Amino acid sequence: MTGEELPKARVRRRRLFQLVWVVPALAAAVAVWLVWQHMRSLGPEIAIRFNDAAGLRVGQTPVIYRGVQIGEVTGIELAKDRRQAVVKARLHRSAWPIATAGAQFWIVRPQLGWGNVTGLNTVLSGPEVQVLPGKGEDHILEFVGLDNAPVAAGATGLRLILRAERPKGVRVNTPVNYRGVEVGMVHKIELAPSSASADLHILVNNRYAALVREGSAFWNESGLHATGGILKGIELELESLRTLFTGSIEFATPNAGARAKPGTVFFLHDKPKPEWLAWAPKIPVGGQKPAAEKPAAQMANPQRPEKASAN
């Protein structure tokens, strides 16, 4: 053996953590945090039964309340009896109080009608599901959707019933006018309890609720009215071109009388009586006070100032 010394190996300890793993570790942490935040914001999944779910898309169709998205459609399938479509939607956690007994869901699609245009914002984005919260306190997960948007839903005002033998030309959304100004609308038409007449449920806006008194008279202004004779010919009377398609209800109020209570039933006449058209009560609307009348002397033509006489 020679006396030369063999070289000694140098052992380097490898670092358990290298800088190359910093970026993947941060990305994983961010991903976990995003997933946790997403799971935290999720609310309950509800099921809504519709007669027709055409246009709804999973993962794209939103659930809207007051213009704010509160959920999203997560599934669409047929009901077991194959008569309806079951739309499943995942609500946000903050919208959980909306899913209570009495909540109403409907699908908003673009509709174009005479004097009634709705859902134009869904032409490009597609249909959306809108909701009106219920007044119940119990949370439920299954609902029955409406075929159409509820008329006057959530609106406040004076709700009255007009009873007519045949409400010719009147339909849902027909305006209710006072002196030609729209103050309300028809939101429901059904047969009376005795089925001998039809009941028209109307809603008068809060601002104009004081215009209706117990002695108020309502009549139908829908359609085209023709009068005349052999000698003077035929006269055609039309309130407006809109009333030819949507119909119209007019009412007049006497000079005295108590305010009508919610649910009061009035008879809907075919035409007004002359004395009704002569009624002209001064009733403040919207909580406004009637303007004080000026003295007769002030309303007359003021006297012109006398010219100074020239000497």
Of the candidates 71, 84, 76, 72, the residue with the CA atom closest to the CA atom of residue 55: 76
Please determine, for residue 34, whether its predicted confidence score (pLDDT) is greater than 70.
Answer: yes
pLDDT tier for residue 306 given thresholds of 50, 70 and 90: very low
**How far is residue 48's CA from residue 79's CA, in Å, rounded to a whole number?**
10
Residues 6+ apart with CB under 8 A from 55: 61, 107, 109, 126, 127
Tokens, residue 174 = 């027909």
Domain ranges of the chain: 41-144, 157-278
Q: Pairing mode, if any, of strands 68-78 and 85-92?
A: antiparallel
**How far is residue 40's CA from residue 46's CA, in Å, rounded to a whole number?**
17
Tokens, residue 60 = 């794209």
Please determine, for residue 57, whether its predicted confidence score (pLDDT) is greater than 90.
Answer: yes
Apex CA 181: angle with CA 175 and CA 186, to 5°? 15
Q: How much is the mean pLDDT over the chain?
A: 80
The structure's pTM equals 0.60
Please determine, for residue 95, whether its predicted confidence score (pLDDT) is greater than 70.
Answer: yes
Percent of the chain whose predicted confidence (pLDDT) is above 90: 43
Tokens, residue 275 = 């004395």
Residues 151-180: tens digit of each pLDDT: 766 678 899 999 999 888 888 888 999 998
Residue the block writes with tokens 């997560």? 74
Of the candidates 240, 191, 190, 248, the residue with the CA atom closest to the CA atom of residue 219: 248
pLDDT tier for residue 304 given thresholds of 50, 70 and 90: very low
Residues 226-260: tens digit of each pLDDT: 555 565 555 555 555 555 556 789 999 999 999 99
End-to-end CA gap in the chain: 156
pLDDT tier for residue 24 given thresholds of 50, 70 and 90: confident
Complete DSSP assignment for 145-203: -BSSPPTTTT--EEEEEEEES--TT--TT-EEEETTEEEEEEEEEEE-TTSSSEEEEEE
Q: Is 204 helix (H, G, I), strand (E, B) or coil?
A: strand
Q: What are phi and psi of 185, to 5 degrees?
A: -160, 160
Complete DSSP assignment for 271-306: S--HHHHH-------TTPPPPPPPPHHHHSPPPPPP
Give the pLDDT confidence score for residue 155 in this predicted structure. 72
Q: Which helix (H) or strand (E) holds 91?
A: strand 85-92
**How far is residue 216's CA from residue 134's CA, in Å, rounded to a whole number?**
33
Q: Is 105 helix (H, G, I), strand (E, B) or coil?
A: strand
Q: Is 85 helix (H, G, I), strand (E, B) or coil?
A: strand
Q: Which helix (H) or strand (E) holds 87?
A: strand 85-92
pLDDT tier for residue 302 given thresholds of 50, 70 and 90: very low
